Homo-oligomer: A and B are copies of this chain.
Amino acid sequence: MPNCIIAQSGGPTSVINSSVVGLLKANEELKKYDKVYGGINGIEGILNENIVELSSITEEDLILFQHTPSSGLGSCRYRMKDLETSTEEYDKLISILEKLDIKTFFYIGGNDSMDTTAKLALYAKKNSLDINFIGIPKTIDNDLMHIDHTPGFGSASKFIATTVFETFLDSSVYIYNGVFILETMGRDTGWLAASACMATYEGKPVADFIYLPEITFDKDAFLHDVKEKFKEQNQVFIVVSEGLKTKDGKFLSEIDYISQDNFAHPQLGGVCHYLRDLIIEAGITPRVKSLELGILQRCAMHCASQTDINEAFQVGYEALKFASNENNGFMVSIQRNGNSPYTVSYTLVEANKVANNIKYFPKEWINESGNHVTKEGYEYLKPLLQGNSNLSTCSTLPNYKVFNK
């Protein structure tokens, strides 16, 4: 019986390890492979033959690992050269896989990782190799095409909505409260910022405004919104996405750019501070606070969505089930059957259709003024946040377990 390998790539999520555990559990049941290897630090680590065996992990450690945030096998942001440029890395990788009698390579990641998966699958096909490459979706940004939503998103969404609710209460305690601006991640898309609409008090969203990158940022309209709302209620709660852009296509804030990301995406963040300064300069009020959630939103397993943990598990499980030469180069996808009751189906989509594409937050789910989310957006999001994570905790802090240390 041949073996398989699984690895993680790109930015971490709270539930990315649940997909590894799902795959391990599927193999326990279906006995498709002899050994399940784990590549440490994605493709980059596998090329250095940094590989561990996962099939022998104890049940206790597996449960801890499933509830541990961030890529517990390590990650990378490693871009394979184009096949036309050089096949050297491809040949090296294949020879490492063949040495371990690996028949299937599972890659958990976002659109960059699906690009890698598609390239490797194509190389295997072209060279009639008996090895296949299967993608497993993951990203807090929820920006993958051909999937209803991505594992990792629901938990980030839940943390954001919870935090919006809590910081709203905290920033509302005085008679004169001023303006509070909370900034989420999300790159070019507004899925994460839109999640703020889930935080409601007595049936009304606590966020007065939610600004998404899908709507071009208009400084005058923004200041008008804030000024009027501040006059009306003496306090304004605003949620913004890091990816807000002006009409000439520039990110509102590309400050603090440090080249940490070999895929040449700009490192975003800091928009909330820019907007704070705008409000103060406009003389609306000097009482403006701004807060970037930063990486908390992608690792706050202590506030994860159980639905998300379960679905992350299931995409790993289904990946193993689907694995075959016919499905070489495909990614497991999630299709939503309906909201009442909320159920999903697991299907396949070609990884190259997902690669290097972006799924934006639908414009029809943004209100006419371009500053909030509609009921349809709320209905889409709601099921993804269901259930509180059944965290493994000792009595003080969560118990976490990783394999890249």
Q: Identify the A interface with B (CB < 8 A).
A: 8, 12, 41, 44-45, 68-72, 74-77, 158, 161-163, 165-167, 169-175, 178, 198-199, 201-202, 258-260, 280, 286-289, 291-292, 294-296, 298-303, 382, 385-388, 393, 395-398, 400, 402, 404-405
| A170 and B298 contact, CB distance less than 8 A | yes
For A76, A174, A289, A388, the residue with the greatest tally of chain B CB atoms inside 10 Å of its CB is A174
A405–B76 alpha-carbon span in the complex (Å)? 47
| A77 and B174 contact, CB distance less than 8 A | yes
| B396 and A382 contact, CB distance less than 8 A | yes
| B291 and A404 contact, CB distance less than 8 A | no
* In the complex, residue of chain B having the shortest beta-carbon distance to the beta carbon of A286: B258
| B163 and A76 contact, CB distance less than 8 A | no
* In the complex, residue of chain B having the shortest beta-carbon distance to the beta carbon of A171: B295
What are 27 contact pairs spanning A and B, CB under 8 A?
Answer: A12-B170, A41-B173, A69-B169, A69-B170, A70-B173, A72-B169, A74-B174, A74-B175, A76-B174, A76-B175, A158-B396, A166-B296, A166-B302, A167-B295, A170-B295, A170-B299, A178-B260, A258-B286, A259-B286, A289-B295, A291-B294, A291-B296, A292-B292, A302-B303, A385-B396, A387-B395, A388-B395
| A41 and B405 contact, CB distance less than 8 A | no
**Selected contact of A397 from candidates B162, B175, B286, B397, CB within 8 Å:** B162
Closest 5 CB pairs of A and B: A170-B299, A70-B169, A75-B173, A166-B299, A71-B173
Residues of B within 8 A of A397 (CB): 158, 161-162, 165, 198-199, 385
Residues of B within 8 A of A166 (CB): 69-70, 296, 299-302, 398, 400
| A296 and B167 contact, CB distance less than 8 A | yes
A386–B400 alpha-carbon span in the complex (Å)? 17
A309–B219 alpha-carbon span in the complex (Å)? 43
Copy tally for this chain in the complex stands at 2
A8–B169 alpha-carbon span in the complex (Å)? 14
**Selected contact of A404 from candidates B41, B170, B171, B172, CB within 8 Å:** B172
Residues of B within 8 A of A68 (CB): 169
| B171 and A405 contact, CB distance less than 8 A | no
**Min CB–CB distance A188 → chain B (angstroms):** 21
Beyond contacts A167-B296, A170-B295: 17 other A-B pairs, Cβ-Cβ < 8 A, are: A8-B173, A12-B170, A69-B169, A69-B170, A70-B166, A70-B169, A70-B172, A70-B173, A74-B173, A75-B173, A76-B175, A167-B295, A172-B405, A201-B400, A258-B287, A289-B294, A291-B295
Residues of B within 8 A of A173 (CB): 8, 12, 41, 70-71, 74-75, 404
* In the complex, residue of chain B having the shortest beta-carbon distance to the beta carbon of A303: B302
Residues of B within 8 A of A161 (CB): 396-397
Residues of B within 8 A of A398 (CB): 162, 165-166
A396–B157 alpha-carbon span in the complex (Å)? 10
For A72, A166, A300, the residue with the greatest tally of chain B CB atoms inside 10 Å of its CB is A166
* In the complex, residue of chain B having the shortest beta-carbon distance to the beta carbon of A258: B286
**Min CB–CB distance A9 → chain B (angstroms):** 10
Residues of B within 8 A of A298 (CB): 170
* In the complex, residue of chain B having the shortest beta-carbon distance to the beta carbon of A385: B396
* In the complex, residue of chain B having the shortest beta-carbon distance to the beta carbon of A163: B296
**Min CB–CB distance A44 → chain B (angstroms):** 6
* In the complex, residue of chain B having the shortest beta-carbon distance to the beta carbon of A202: B405
**Min CB–CB distance A357 → chain B (angstroms):** 24
Residues of B within 8 A of A69 (CB): 166, 169-170
| B169 and A400 contact, CB distance less than 8 A | yes
